[in-house]
């Protein structure tokens, strides 16, 4: 059952939907119990991706074969990450509850967990080069889970 209050687990799951599984495992429930909007998009290399927006609450992103590689949650999602972090928190709150915050690709990575990120809202996604550029009262409304380890530079 898709659950908008389920825990958010880094590199693993949100809404009781598992990364790596195929969207076909959830498609019956999605269409029977939820409002679905589908967005197709093409990458510069010609690859196709599909985003399933569910009840304007979560976004399930899949590869062309249906494999789920990312799940996004917005302020309508009520589940927690680490039992304490959620959408709709201020950056100041997040900073107090974590040891380290870093910016990568318009997102905030916490405590070097490259399976979970907060998306920086505009214009900070474009202009923030360091954590000090982010106002403490900035509200963070979007969370994504995926494998963001490719953002790390090779040592």
What is residue 133's predicted lDDT score, i.e. its pLDDT? 87
Q: For residue 73, give the nearest of 88, 62, 87, 83 by alpha carbon.
A: 87
Its pTM surpasses 0.85: yes
What is residue 142's predicted lDDT score, i.e. its pLDDT? 97
What is residue 125's predicted lDDT score, i.e. its pLDDT? 84
Could you list the mean pLDDT of each consecutive 10-residue stretch along the chain, which spans 155 residues?
Answer: 96 97 96 95 87 97 96 97 97 97 93 96 83 94 94 69
CA–CA separation, 80 and 30 (whole Å): 22
What is residue 151's predicted lDDT score, i.e. its pLDDT? 85
Counting Cβ atoms within 10 Å, is residue 1 exposed (0-12), middle (13-18) or buried (19+)?
Answer: exposed
Where are the chain's structural domains?
Answer: 13-73, 89-148
């Amino acid at each position: 059952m898709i659950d908008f209050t389920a825990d958010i687990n880094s590199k693993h799951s949100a809404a009781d939907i598992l990364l790596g599984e195929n969207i076909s495992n959830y498609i019956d429930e999605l269409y029977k119990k939820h409002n679905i909007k589908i967005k197709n998009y093409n990458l510069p290399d010609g690859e196709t991706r599909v985003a399933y927006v569910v009840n304007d609450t979560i976004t399930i992103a899949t590869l062309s074969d249906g494999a789920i590689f990312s799940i996004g949650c917005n302020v309508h999602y009520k589940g927690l990450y680490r039992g304490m972090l959620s959408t709709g928190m201020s950056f100041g709150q997040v900073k107090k509850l974590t040891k380290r915050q870093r910016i990568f690709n318009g997102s905030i990575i916490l405590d070097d967990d490259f399976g979970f990120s907060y998306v920086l809202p505009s214009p900070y996604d474009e202009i923030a080069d360091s954590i000090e550029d982010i106002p403490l009262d900035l509200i963070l409304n979007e969370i994504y889970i995926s494998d963001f380890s490719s953002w790390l530079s090779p040592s």
